[in-house]
Structure 1
Amino acid sequence: MSEFAAMDALTKPSGRALADNLLAFARLLRRTGLRVGTADVLAAADALSLVDIADRRQVHAALRGVMVRRHEDFAVFDQAFLLFWRDPEAGRNAAAMAMLEGFKERQKAPPTSRRVAEAMTPPKQAPNQRPPEPEEKPPIEVAMTVSERERLQSMDFEAMSATEIAEAKREIGKLVLPLDERRTRRFRPDPRGPVVDLRATIRASLHEGGEILALARKRQVTRPPPLVALCDISGSMARYAQILLHFLHAVTNDRDRVSSFLFGTRLTNVTRQLKSRDPEVAFELVSHVVPDWSGGTRIGESLELFNRHWSRRVLGQGAVVLLITDGLDREGAKGLAEATDRLRHSCRRLIWLNPLLRYEGFQPKSQGIRAMLPHVDDFRPVHNLQSLRSLVETLSGPQPVRRIAA
């Protein structure tokens, strides 16, 4: 089929090809993760009736205008539009991916191309497997479902296979981190508020000739505190950091005032990159700005840089800090205790997440761990889904009062 074969089919007087192609294109977009419903398909049909169907650019602009709601989904839509309207049968022979790889030898393919290619490729079927008869109900496998899910919750990230890691990433994307709300210095008008707003009361009395007919009231504003994550991406933490980035991405897109930093031999702020709603696009952006992935570790130097350049910017209003590292520093304990102590005094709560706590006989023998441990408020494991869920439950409840050393 030629490049514009699908476009020519849409010009048939019957209109049947128009509905079939739009429904197939909508199903493709849904498989790539875009939210496209029946109302969007009807709106797309109406939009195509107002443009010249023979003009590819007009059709592209009309469909994207009614079927895409978020700016982050434009790249996925453009890739799907290119492949689908070039050859709707590409999903049967996976020619779309081969075409992309052959065309982009000098230019790296965008992270959305794999999603679109997988969406256009039907699931593989065993050679000797026969499809079930239409009148027969497909068998439903329910055995071991609960046990497999429980096993995944307690399995160490480092022991997971590629399929299990993909499933763990999907489960991490569903986690929500609602921190307990804290009172701020701001007030908002509230007719049933506990505080009388004298200024608003006098301002309202001016409209009544100076007579105070009612008291204006206000209430103190409460909001969750900022969340700051410092994640170690050195060689010993590379496997865990790769999965925990999905957790940080989900938290960043679920709530506001989240700051994320990665450190190995240097400190990198990746807050802006993780704000992209598409995880593949976000991690592609992170890979461009982080030069020291799976390298050495300089925890003390990285924390000192954070305290000097970033603490006053992101640690205001009772921020909670998640320090994700195994505590194995190539510089030993040089400056590590001082940097950790300063970080602790700059935030409301410092939580250290260490994957080495997965071992029952863990003991803080390394110099870095012994230097950091006295200066943290909480020391928790982070090696499986169950530990992440426990962290979410802990941060969502009332926070303990920090004890001040004499």
Structure 2
Amino acid sequence: MKLSQMLTTGDDAALQAVMMQAAKEAGISEARLFTQQGIFTRRILEAMGLDELDERLREMRTQNGDGEGNGGGGGGSQSSGASGALETLEQSRAALFESVRDFVEAQIAMRTRNAGRLLREEALSRLRLAALDKSDMALLRDLTRKLAKKLASRHVRRRKKNLRGVLDIRRTMRRNQAHDGLLFNLAWRRVKRDKPKLIVMCDVSGSVAAVAQFFLMFLYNLGDVMPRTRSFVFSNRCGEISQMMADHDIEKAMALALREYGGGSTDYGTSFTDLYDATSDDIDRHTSVLILGDARSNFGDPGHGVLREIHNKAKRVIWLNPEARVSWNVGDSEMRRLGAYCTDVHVCNSLRQVERVVDSLLKYAG
């Protein structure tokens, strides 16, 4: 049976069998590094019949395009049905990609589980946080603290360099006129920097909660070097947890935050309104707003109108999405509409990616 047929009929048993055979053909037993994840994911998909599936999708897009302008009364219904079948198959392709990627990720994680601590830490830092095994949580918390400490040290060195300022050529030349052009005494000019502010809003519903927990843990461990930060979490409503994080250790603070704001069905419209009501007086041209979420609105109001207001007032709006780009704008994903009001949009679903984002924030903070 062709891959497109298995996806159309929803034959999960056949898909699983084909994936296992394709993984064997792709040499999954040789996968040892998370840098190989993309290679093996692609190999398995190709062995499963990705080319045939993509060819079928191209045919359906062509047929759908041809049917849209023919004008008959019955043609509209036919076109609508074809469009629905095309969208369903495209969603199935995206879901298949994620399933194969998760399978490869789990296979590599299994093969590195008994490796040395440093290799294991490197593997965990690249593993999707939503796919973590509970047995790895303690090690990942330690790794988060270690990476945060390393970033803090790097930022302190960077800040000292920035405080020194830039070389003042004129003053330096005047100071060294008596030294025949040799620059013994350097003069530095301080560069005035505005104090930055950061507002963080994290989705704590479903699988996104795991990424939010470690992202907030990173910020918690960088409290002394981060810019002024207000932290919010949301599911069906949004609330501030800055005081919780100040009063408790991060595990306790997250437990309280999940109890108070987690568990609801994601409502971006209400949550963005709550955030704006709480922070509108604090958002200005020195403020970065960072949003961590999958942009899935459950087909409700995505809140893009409120996000536009935030974007117009803030210095930057950064969106971190834990889903792979292939899943954006599929189904109830509103990434296209919400991303239109963001300065930067990134995939962020592993500790290594969290580290990269936080390092960028610290560089911006100076």
TM-score range, shorter chain: 0.5 to 0.7
Letter in 1 for 2:281: R
User: 1:219, 1:240 → 2: CA distance?
Assistant: 39
User: 1:172, 1:324 → 2: CA distance?
Assistant: 18
Within 5 A, what are the aligned runs for 1:13-162? 144-162=116-134
2:276 is equivalent to residue 311 of structure 1:
no
2:218 is equivalent to residue 251 of structure 1:
no
Within 5 A, what are the aligned runs for 1:367-406? 367-397=333-363
1:308-359 deviations in Å (ceiling 9; x for gaps): 331212x235111110000011353x262211211111211111011002x6
Specify the alignment match of 1:22 in structure 2: none
Q: Greater helix percent: which structure?
A: 2
User: 2:352, 2:312 → 1: CA distance?
Assistant: 29
1:42-71 deviations in Å (ceiling 9; x for gaps): xxxxxxxxxxxxxxxxxxxxxxxxxxxxxx
Q: Is the 8 A contact 2:199 2:229 kept in 1?
A: yes
Decide whether aligned partners of structure 1 residues 300 and 172 sit closer, same or farther in structure 2, where only a CA change above 3 A counts: same
- Secondary structure of the 1:371 match is helix
Decide whether aligned partners of structure 1 residues 193 and 301 sit closer, same or farther in structure 2, where only a CA change above 3 A counts: farther
User: 2:232, 2:358 → 1: CA distance?
Assistant: 19
Decide whether aligned partners of structure 1 residues 284 and 367 sit closer, same or farther in structure 2, where only a CA change above 3 A counts: closer
Q: Is the 8 A contact 2:194 2:286 kept in 1?
A: no
2:265 is equivalent to residue 296 of structure 1:
yes
Quote how far apart the aligned CAs of 1:231 are: 0.5
Specify the alignment match of 1:268 in structure 2: 239
- Secondary structure of the 1:275 match is helix
Structure 2 residue runs of 5 or longer lacking an equivalent are 1-113, 160-164, 170-188
User: 1:248, 1:386 → 2: CA distance?
Assistant: 14
Decide whether aligned partners of structure 1 residues 259 and 242 sit closer, same or farther in structure 2, where only a CA change above 3 A counts: same
- Secondary structure of the 2:261 match is coil
Q: Is the 8 A contact 2:232 2:239 kept in 1?
A: yes
User: 1:240, 1:294 → 2: CA distance?
Assistant: 15
Q: Is the 8 A contact 1:234 1:293 kept in 2?
A: yes
Decide whether aligned partners of structure 1 residues 346 and 249 sit closer, same or farther in structure 2, where only a CA change above 3 A counts: same
Specify the alignment match of 1:227 in structure 2: 198
User: 1:306, 1:231 → 2: CA distance?
Assistant: 11
Specify the alignment match of 2:63 in structure 1: none
Letter in 2 for 1:263: F
- Secondary structure of the 2:349 match is coil
- Secondary structure of the 1:329 match is coil
Q: Is the 8 A contact 2:238 2:261 kept in 1?
A: no
- Secondary structure of the 1:356 match is coil
Decide whether aligned partners of structure 1 residues 291 and 281 sit closer, same or farther in structure 2, where only a CA change above 3 A counts: closer
In the alignment, which of 324, 337, 340 is matched to residue 307 of structure 2? 340
1:174-199 deviations in Å (ceiling 9; x for gaps): 31465998xxxxxxxx9x999xxxxx
Q: Is the 8 A contact 2:320 2:348 kept in 1?
A: yes
1:95-150 deviations in Å (ceiling 9; x for gaps): xxxxxxxxxxxxxxxxxxxxxxxxxxxxxxxxxxxxxxxxxxxxxxx973442222
Specify the alignment match of 2:84 in structure 1: none
Specify the alignment match of 2:317 in structure 1: 350
Q: Is the 8 A contact 1:265 1:297 kept in 2?
A: yes
Quote how far apart the aligned CAs of 1:367 are: 4.9
Quote how far apart the aligned CAs of 1:170 are: 1.9
Decide whether aligned partners of structure 1 residues 271 and 151 sit closer, same or farther in structure 2, where only a CA change above 3 A counts: same
Decide whether aligned partners of structure 1 residues 389 and 283 sit closer, same or farther in structure 2, where only a CA change above 3 A counts: closer
Quote how far apart the aligned CAs of 1:283 are: 3.5
Specify the alignment match of 2:295 in structure 1: 327
User: 1:398, 1:239 → 2: CA distance?
Assistant: 26
User: 1:278, 1:345 → 2: CA distance?
Assistant: 35
Decide whether aligned partners of structure 1 residues 377 and 306 sit closer, same or farther in structure 2, where only a CA change above 3 A counts: same
Structure 1 residue runs of 5 or longer lacking an equivalent are 1-141, 182-189, 195-217, 400-406
2:140 is equivalent to residue 173 of structure 1:
no
Question: Which ranges of 4 or more aligned residues in structure 1 deviate by more than 4 Å?
Answer: 177-181, 218-221
Quote how far apart the aligned CAs of 1:369 are: 1.8
User: 2:364, 2:202 → 1: CA distance?
Assistant: 25
- Secondary structure of the 1:394 match is helix
Q: Is the 8 A contact 1:264 1:294 kept in 2?
A: yes
Output the TM-score relative to the length of structure 1: 0.48
1:257-290 deviations in Å (ceiling 9; x for gaps): 1100111111111111111363344345535xx5
Quote how far apart the aligned CAs of 1:380 are: 1.0
Q: Which has the higher contact order (CA 8 A, sep 6+)?
A: 2
Decide whether aligned partners of structure 1 residues 253 and 330 sit closer, same or farther in structure 2, where only a CA change above 3 A counts: farther
Decide whether aligned partners of structure 1 residues 247 and 303 sit closer, same or farther in structure 2, where only a CA change above 3 A counts: same
Aligned residues: 222
Decide whether aligned partners of structure 1 residues 150 and 281 sit closer, same or farther in structure 2, where only a CA change above 3 A counts: closer
Quote how far apart the aligned CAs of 1:246 are: 1.6
